[in-house]
Structure 1
Amino acid sequence: MAASNRSPAACYTVEARNPNEIWKADAVIDNHTPVLAIQISFCIFITNLFYAILRPLRQPRIVAEILAGLALSLLVAVNDNLVDIFLPAKGILNFETYANLGIMGYAFISGLEMNFDTILQVGKNDTGIALLGIIIPMAMGMGFFAVIQRVYEKPLEENNGIYVGKEYLFWCLALPVTSFPLLARTLTDLKLLYTRLGKATLRAAVFSDTYGWVLFIALIPFSSDSAVGAILSVLGTVMFILFCIFVLRPLITKYIDQNAYRQDTTQNNSPLAFLIMGAFVCSYITDLLGTHAIVGSFVYGLILPHGKFSDSVMGMIDKFTSGAISPLFFFSVGLTMNLTVLAHQKYWPLMVLFILLLSTLKVLSTFIATFFFKLPTRDSMGMGLLLNSKGALALIILNIAFARKVLSVVPFTIMACAVILMTIMAPLCVNSIYKPRKRFENFRLRTIEMLRNNAELRILSCVHNVHQATCMVNLLKAFNANRISPLRVFGVHLIEHTGGAAAATALLANHMEQPIHSKSQELTLSQPNLQNIANIFNTLREEDNTIRVDNLHAVSAYDTIYKDIHSVAEQNRTAMILLPFHRQLDGVSGGLAETTNETYRNINLKVMQDAPCSVALLVDRGLGLVSKTNLHVVMLFVGGPDDREALAVAWRMIGTANPAITLSVVRIVLAGEAAEADISTSDDTKRPSSTRVDDDERQQVLDEEYIDSFRFKAIYNNDSITYSEEEVHNGEELIALLQELDKDGGDLYIVGQGNGRNTIVSSSFMEWCDNVELGVIGDIIASLGSSSSLLVVKQFGYEEMELGRQNQHPRLTSVSEMDIL
């Protein structure tokens, strides 16, 4: 492409109508503000429209914003008059100024999301992966640019070749950059944040993103003509950054402690707003030094103390910045891309090939790097795709190079298209590689019933608050952990995240296994509860050295947090997930009242729907108020896979020698009318009658075998276990029996949810169940007003995931164990 294709300098005519000697500009309020308001409204509307269309494909918002601008640029190529309608020339300056403010805010939030204290904590393996992922793309990118220079461009004789070296640098600088905030959001959306892949990718992304900013600071000044001025600019910027880290940061931290947040007062927004203004001051300083305004914004966000203060700042400006300001910059980037110029090139198919090949360089380099660290092939490919996610920094580099005429239209558009393609393909390819259902297929039969007696029992305990953590710990203490069969507990604090950002700082600190700080300014809004919950779970380890405890937390929207729970359970190969019931005793009122949270119920239902292991729902009736040394457990056995799993849980508690636990197993034998099969259930109508009969018989055989094994191995060897059988003929007798058992006063009931019971009695009771997740027996016990706590167990079954039912309530019939085996 000839040098004439470089973008000419834009000229704007400004008519000074104000006779005042001070202000020589036009009447801003009358002539410019309405145009800017229309431009902002149009930009936000079209970007949100594109985002709504692309959201099912798990695309980040930045992709929608760029594609919206690119779509408008294509329309303008068809009809030049369209640009005057949507973006009139007299409003371009104001539009670009507003867009630059948006990218400054975006850089400030990116700095807030990255924890300065954890950048230097990246391991050697992650650093090696990131380094090779930087060097290889830059080296190969130079070769691609040399070909593009020969095919598309003529020598820059009028500039004596002074731009050639700079073009190589700025072209290659955009290739290895990885956007850490964007990557954190992608991992959160794909529910891979708590997997081995997510942890390793985040750690490598910290180094890669930091490297990108370092090169950005070092190379941007060299886009000017003066080499001496560029060197002085870099030195001045480095000195300013050191000043911010070692002088300004301690002063700001002290100021926040004294003014912004006090332990005995509420939040004061005046110092908060005052500190936010520092981002504009730092931006002005770095722009004056000759680097770029966003460097000051990013560094200022990076040095601010993370915790309550950063949460409040992000809560104030994140939604406004990401929703109303920064979209204009990415929209303008898409508008700058000129695909029509590329389409008129002689070798345009080669251009398309270059775009595709450039999109694979980071993936290839990461795959080569992970080969030396012996990562699985799928994880290597997934990490390469994720680290290929580009963000604002790569686009800013290209935009600066294009605005300063370092890059012409052709290479700018090729690299911009490659950056967009990289970001689009990352979530699509990774989601296809790591399909949750396929991951869970290899995880079947992860139940306590199938667990060997001498195997480690792994339990994932989910809690929302301190009271639930205390209740869970008291329950976990009842399990018979010993050297032969140890217990490992994964305590997960479920934290709702409603902000626009991905809470990357807290998530990164968790994955890099950083300790929870004790200083008030270092605690996020959720971390005080997290620390208390962690201390409660740690009492298990302190009291019994055969119990291992891992404290985790899941930060996500409540609508999708069940996917995080599934991922943590699958990653840690747990045998059971413990969930708190949505109605719990209110410890503040002395345990006499109950609080109900329907949001918790929706989470429980979704977790139970497709969990990768067995699930147990704990109804607290005082178990979390007092830790009892002697616990009386009552296990009710009717039949079916859930009841066998519930008996396995009770059996694991009593073990062979646990004098603190007394267990009463009551087998409820259905006879007469109560034993009649219900052939009208939705699941049974899908199968032939002979198959239904065979399944019922298999379930009965499995029940008898498991009961006989329990009586032979447990009851005859332990005096603390009692076993009895009660026969019921109808629903009235069932309720009467449960009422009679409740009079004896047990501390904890353990029952199965009831999958696999195809009887008329179960179906009739299920129609009026208030809480179908508790099953028939569990719902009756809960409705009796019993003071005993209740543990409802649902055994994992492969058929549930294969059918993929989407009904709200988990009335699912598990396939028989014989079919699975």
Structure 2
Amino acid sequence: MDCSMTSSILSANYNTILFEFGVILVSSKVLYALLRKVYQPRVFSDLLLGIILAQFRVLSLTNAINLVFGKIGGFVFAPYLFALGVEMDPTTLLDAPTGDSVVAYAGILSTCVLVTLFHMPLMQATSGVVHERSLRSFLGLAAVLANTASPVLTRLTTDLKIAKTAVGRLAVGAGLASDMLTTMLIAVGSMIWRDTGVDGRESNDSPIVQPVLTAAVLVVVIVSAFVSRAMAEWVGSRNPEGRRMRGFDLSLVALAAAALCWLSSALRLNVNMAAFLVGLAFPSEGRVSRLLVSKTNFVLSSFVLPLYVAHVCLSLRQTTDDIEVAGLTRDDGFRAYVMELPFPWWKVFFVTVMGTLGKLTGCAAAGLLRGLGMLEALALGMLLNVKGYFHLYCAQAAFDAGIITDKSFMAIIFMVALNVAVTPMVGMGIASWARRSVQWRLMGLQHHDPSTELRLVVGLHGPQDVPTLSYIMEALRWGGGAGGGGELAVYAVDMVQMTDQTAAAIVKGGGFDGVTVVDEEVSEMRKLIGEALDAYQAECGGGAKVKVRRLLALSSFPDMHSDMCICAEDAMAALVLLPFHKAQRADGSMEPGHHGFRVVNQKVLQLAPCSVGVVVDRGLGGKHAAAVVSGSSSQQSQTQAAAAVVVVFIGGADDREALTLASLMSKHPGVRLTALRVVQNATAQARARARTSLFESKGSRRGGGGGGGMMGAPASSALGQEEAQMQVDDKFFAEFYRKHVAGSKQPGAAVAAIGYLEKHVADGAELVAVLRGMQADYRLFIVGRGRDRSSVLTEGLDEWAECLELGPVGDILASSDFSTTASVLIVQQYDAKKHYKVIDEEFMPL
């Protein structure tokens, strides 16, 4: 009868139900997009939407929605807990406790102690938070309050850019350990009390049945470990690295996991807990596991979980007895909402304080022992207290089992929402605490001490960027000391866009990132980048002279520049190298490129705490790169295969930085450098004098009136700055010429020979003509961006510029109609007026 009624309701209203499902999903995405700007995780937007739907009764068929999820709600969380189990490695429980584990265990222990001390007011049949006084309710409450929502915490640390800090890395590791241990305790409890009814009484099975069923479940879990590893190896052999995984093979693994979960549930174990235990038995490493986690989490976060949270909030209903106690009418009583009753503020407060104090006490104490400051230790405890979807599931399960009352159910939901809303504020506090003032120093190549280690931050869109950037890195390394003895520290940052799919594949990672992405495409890309960097490091003499540290910039494009700038600050880098957002096609033209990467480059150029170089690659990472990187070939063979490089000097701070970079590269025998100085001819000098006279006449006319002399100050100031800049340029280039050009011609000179060209031009058109005449002779053009350059030689060039962030000359060199073989490096010197502060010494020294 019940099944036929359900079928009739669904068949009669399925169009409306699908429409309401669509409304919930779209509203959830829109709300998350808005709240994400204030770093709120997805679970908060889902909860907020569910509370709004429950409070204002926005949807008309809430009964039908609850009917649908009432039938499938018991199975919704099985994929979530399975993916959670796959991310975890239970063998770590057998190893010696690490720092992460100690923090997690301390938080769990302190929470359990607080629950024990205050269990009397918590467990009252009518007024308490828990409806029954039993061992299972006591242990369940302690485990749930001690649990950390590790998926929410991992995503939160990524969004807040704190995953690379000491507190962030410790929080991610401890959160995963806490989540694993407490969820395992809940799963074990579900095996022990698998047949406990709503009234709290045990089943009538014989005493031997429970141990037999528990042993059978453990056997299934052990079998799952062998089956899953065998299937992973079999699928891996059918789908080698570099090939896309066959959907049929992945479906077989998922079906096998579902069958194992069903077998455990057939032994009267809760299907969700069975899924978690089977997930724990699966190998946490490997391509198959990564794909299962990423695909499952993507589907859950995009479609299933928003609907499930809406169902949980819409199921906040009162029984008839409670409605009468509240003084409400009995008419249609089962449709009354919990929110129509007096709100249980004290329960929300009590549960929130209980969980928070428990985490703060234990985790903060462990953090202090780990060497954290008091504020950082307290922030660590607050981060590990974050709640999520699993807590909503536990509240729903406890309510259905009669362990908690409906008021307590509502109180827990609001407690989770409040907890999740506050935690990002703690993360932002960590980000500010991690940044402390140190003695400021100039960051750039012009002010770099050649006897010290040269540090670079290199952004990578993919493995195709490694050869060209390796060419530049290796050439710069030779400028670190006499005879190529300089040391180079490279922070290679994989720039990965944050999408719903990559967000669903974020898990705890090793090293300084704290998190990583297990999405197949991202993992394959990072693997290829790693292999190319390892090959470069091996060819240039291993880690003695070149140290490469891999980092991950996982952000949306509007925020990715923050990752790059933070990496440059932490590393005290002298230069950030970024690939151009356009790539060369097979016919030699430049493709439009990805606008998101262009936004990143623009913001890094604006906000970077050091000098920046943008690389336009036109095949520089070919045989010339191999000749430069290879350290085994003779100097003669390197010289014969040397790449011709030209640095263009017009004037300004950026051109001075470009000239410094070129002089460092010139020390490598595989680089043949030519310095091109562009100077004004007689026509250009006349135009410059006319422009100066015009400014002076405007200034004198404006200053002619009494007291109006100050109006002429901007013009005279600009002229004075231009003259001072020209003097600095002349002095700097004269020193460069004396040391590198004239000095290299002396007998027995220790410096590399540098060619010198001087071109006299009248305007921008002649400058472009000069550059076009040289495009076939050089493999790399190095030019300054020219932000502060005020020269008649570049006037008007930016009017037709397509990429203004490259500067007028850089835009011409990067255009499709300039060259098909000459790569370009556009350099911007760090602006000393931007006073940045270096942070977090844990990133250095390398």
Shared fold (TM-score, shorter chain, > 0.5): yes
Pick aligned residue for 2:651 from 620, 639, 643 = 639
Q: Distance in 1 between matches of 2:669 and 2:809?
A: 28
1:294 paired with 2:272, answer: yes
Superposed displacement of residue 347, structure 1: 8.6
Q: 1:274 aligns with which of 215, 230, 252?
A: 252
Do 2:615 and 2:824's aligned partners in 1 also have CA atoms closer than 8 Å?
yes
Backbone CA RMSD of aligned residues:
4.4
Would you say the 8 A contact 1:359–1:419 is kept in 2? no
Distance 2:357 2:129 in 1: 29
Q: Distance in 2 between matches of 1:394 and 1:704?
A: 69
CA deviation map 1:304-343 (0-9, x unaligned): 6755434554675544432222223222333456899799
1:779 counterpart = 2:757: no
Counterpart position of 1:6: none
Take 2:474 and 2:810, find their aligned partners in 1: how far apart are those partners? 22
Corresponding residue number in structure 1 for 2:541: 542
Of 694-703 and 280-289, deviating more is 694-703
1:55 equivalent in structure 2: 36
Determine the C-alpha separation between the residues in 2 that align with 1:607 and 1:618.
Answer: 14
Q: CA deviation at 1:753?
A: 0.5
Trace 1:605-620 onto structure 2 (pairs within 5 A).
605-620=602-617
Task: Confirm or deny that 1:250 pairs with 2:251.
Answer: no
Provide the residue aligned with 2:488 in structure 1. 487
Structure 2 SS opposite 1:477:
helix
Residue 67 (structure 1) aligned with residue 48 (structure 2): yes
Per the alignment, residue 786 of structure 2 pairs with: 754
Q: What is the SS of the residue equivalent to 2:145?
A: coil
From the superposition, tell whether residues 402 and 624 of structure 1 become closer, same or farther in structure 2 (CA, over 3 Å): same
In the alignment, residue 297 of structure 1 is paired with which amino acid? Answer: A
Aligned residue number for residue 177 of structure 1: 147
* Equivalent position of 2:2 in the other structure: 14
| Selected match of 1:597 from 593, 599, 606 | 593
Pick from 447, 450, 454 the counterpart of residue 453 of structure 1.
450
Separation (CA, whole Å) in 2 of partners of 1:436 and 1:793: 32
Matches of 1:375 and 1:429 in 2, distance apart? 16
| CA pair 351-262 structure 1, distance change in 2 beyond 3 A | closer
> Structure 2 CA distance, aligned partners of 1:686 and 1:151?
84
Between the aligned partners of 1:687 and 1:65, the Cα distance in structure 2 is 59
Amino acid at match of 2:653: P
Report what 2:748 is aligned to. none
Q: 2:674 aligns with which of 664, 671, 687?
A: 664
Q: How has the CA–CA distance of structure 1 residues 756 and 309 changed in structure 2, closer, same or farther, with 3 Å as cutoff?
A: same
| Cα distance in 1 between the residues matched to 2:37 and 2:353 | 24
Within 5 Å, which residues of 2 pair with 1:591-740?
Answer: 595-599=591-595, 600-627=597-624, 628=627, 629=638, 630-654=642-666, 658-670=668-680, 671-673=685-687, 676=691, 688-689=714-715, 692-693=718-719, 695-696=721-722, 699-700=725-726, 702-704=728-730, 706-707=732-733, 709-711=735-737, 714-715=740-741, 717-719=743-745, 720-722=753-755, 726-739=759-772
- Looking at structure 1, the residues matched to 720 and 92 of structure 2 have their Cα atoms a distance apart, in angstroms, of 59
State the alpha-carbon separation in 2 of the partners of residues 436 and 773 from structure 1: 33
The alignment's TM-score, normalised by the length of structure 2, stands at: 0.77
Pick the aligned partner of 1:139 from 105, 113, 134.
Answer: 113
Residues 637, 643 of structure 1: 8 Å contact kept: yes
Instruction: Indicate how the Cα distance of structure 1 residues 674 and 326 shifts in structure 2: closer, same or farther if over 3 A, else same.
Output: same
Measured after TM superposition, the shift of residue 448 of structure 1 is 1.7
CA change 1:766–1:320 in 2 (3 A) is same
Secondary structure in 2 matching 1:388:
coil
User: 2:466–2:529: 8 Å Cα contact kept in structure 1?
Assistant: no
What is the CA–CA distance in structure 2 between the aligned matches of 1:559 and 1:436, rounded to whole Å?
24
TM-score, normalization by structure 1: 0.80
Deviates more, 1:38-47 or 1:617-626: 38-47
Equivalent residue runs for 1:188-587 within 5 Å: 188-222=158-192, 224=196, 225-226=201-202, 235-245=215-225, 247-257=226-236, 261=239, 268-302=246-280, 303=282, 306-310=285-289, 312-313=291-292, 317-336=296-315, 348=345, 351-352=348-349, 355=352, 358-359=355-356, 361-376=358-373, 379-434=376-431, 445-479=442-476, 480=478, 481-482=480-481, 485-496=486-497, 498-502=499-503, 504=505, 508=509, 524-542=523-541, 545-558=544-557, 560-585=559-584
1:5-47 CA-partner distances (Å, limit 9, x unpaired): xxxxxxxx73858xxxxxxx85476347457535534543543
Give the distance between the partners of 1:687 and 1:433, measured in 2 at CA. 46
Distance 2:243 2:429 in 1: 50
Match among 816, 829, 835 for residue 795 of structure 1: 829
In structure 2, the gaps of 5 or more residues are 319-336, 628-637, 699-710, 746-752, 837-846
Q: Distance in 2 between matches of 1:781 and 1:264?
A: 35
Amino acid across the alignment from 2:77: I
Match of 1:217, as an amino acid? A
- Displacement of 1:659: 4.3
Output the CA distance in 1 between the equivalents of 2:314 and 2:96. Answer: 38
2:503 is paired with a residue whose SS is coil
Write the distance in 1 (CA, Å) between the matches of 2:576 and 2:521: 31
Distance 2:503 2:440 in 1: 29
What is the CA–CA distance in structure 1 between the aligned matches of 2:360 and 2:245, rounded to whole Å? 46
Name whichever of 522-531 and 660-669 sits farther off: 522-531
> Structure 1 residues 272, 738: CA separation in 2 closer, same or farther (over 3 Å shift)?
closer
Q: 1:643 to 1:580 in 2, by over 3 A?
A: same
Separation in 1 of the partners of 2:620 and 2:56? 66
Unaligned 5+ runs, structure 1: 1-12, 18-24, 77-81, 803-821
For the residues of structure 2 that align with 1:336 and 1:206, how far apart are their CA atoms?
A: 30
- Deviation for aligned residue 1:408: 2.5
Report whether the alignment pairs 1:101 with 2:135.
no
Render the CA deviation track for 1:222-277: whole Å, top value 9, x for unaligned.
553439677666554443322212x2222322442465x36898754334323323
CA-CA distance at 1:554 after TM superposition: 3.9
How many residue pairs align between the two structures? 758
1:664-712 per-residue CA deviation (whole Å, 9 max, x = no partner) reads 33333454435857999xxxx9995465456545544544554455455
Structure 1 distance, partners of 2:145, 2:179, is: 12
Residue 226 of structure 1 aligns to which amino acid in structure 2? E
Hey, what does 1:805 align to over in structure 2? none
1:173 deviates by 1.6
Structure-1 residue corresponding to 2:133: 163
- Gap change, CA 1:694 and 1:266, over 3 Å in 2: closer
Task: Go from structure 1 to structure 2 and tell me whether the alpha carbon gap of 1:51 and 1:343 turns closer, same or farther (over 3 Å shift).
Answer: same
Q: State the Cα deviation string for residues 541-580 of structure 1 (Å, max 9, x = none).
A: 4368322222344445555443333333333332211122
Once the two structures are superposed, residues 208-234 of structure 1 have per-residue CA deviations (whole angstroms, 9 ceiling, x without a partner) of 221122122122345534396776665
Q: Alpha-carbon deviation of 1:461?
A: 1.9
SS class of match (1:663): strand
Return the alpha-carbon distance in structure 2 between the equivalents of residues 193 and 267 of structure 1.
30
Structure 1 residues 267 and 243: alpha-carbon distance in aligned structure 2, compared to 1, 3 A threshold: closer
State the distance in 2 between where 1:263 and 1:551 align: 21
Does 1:86 find its partner at 2:61?
A: yes
